Structures are given as structure tokens and as C-alpha cells.
Amino acid sequence: MTPQQLLDEAAGLLVGPRPSMRRCWQRGCACLTRLALEKGLRRYWDRAAPTVAGCPMRHQLLALPSFAGAPTAQLARTAWHGLSRAMHHHTYELAPTLAELHAWHHDVGILLERLTQPNP
């Protein structure tokens, strides 16, 4: 699936989660959104700096300001860390809120647009 298709699937969960996902749709939405972000970054690195594409995500996020600029890198870093935290289930934590999911989804949409521009 493309990053946009993954983001569209996440949007579907935000609008109307499936009955079979009544207890886990928030984390499913976070997972799809983070996967869209990661695939979008992978496509960007394949174009901009192929050697970075195989590095761990933390390294890619550290390199991103040099290639895509500080605002784009900050957007990616904030969304990725928030989504990563939201994906991991801990019994003492609540699932992410609908507002958080909407914000991350929106941010990843903006990020994907920036990463597909010739000079983000």
C-alpha cells in the first residue's frame, strides 16, 4: 500500500471504526498512520539520500533537518514519537484520544505533501 492509502485507511477508522475493533481501533489507527509516515519517509530517502533509507528511524529523523529543513523534521519527529507511544499498549495508560489521532493524522498528511515536493 502507498502512504496515502494507509492514511486513508486510518481516516476510515477515525470516522467509523469497525465493530470488530471496538477496543483497539485507536491503536490500529495510530499504527496505520505511523506506517504511512514511515513509508513516506522511505520514499523520500530513496530519492534524496538512498543510504539513509536503511538506517533506523531515529537516525533518519536526526538526518532529516539537513535534507528537508527544520520545520518538516520537527513535524516528522513529533508525529512519529507520539504515534509510537500511542501504539504500545500499557495497562496503566489510556488509549490515544480522538483529538490526538486527528492531529497526528493531519500532521502526517502535511508531512507526506512536503516530502513529495521537489525541495521540501
pTM (predicted TM-score): 0.90
CA neighbor of 41 nearest in space, from 59, 23, 21: 59
pLDDT (tens, 9 = 90+) of the chain, 120 residues, equals: 999 999 999 999 888 877 776 778 888 899 999 999 999 999 999 999 999 999 999 999 999 999 999 999 999 999 999 999 998 877 777 888 889 999 999 999 999 999 998 754
Q: What angle do CA 32, 35, 39 make, to 5 degrees?
A: 140
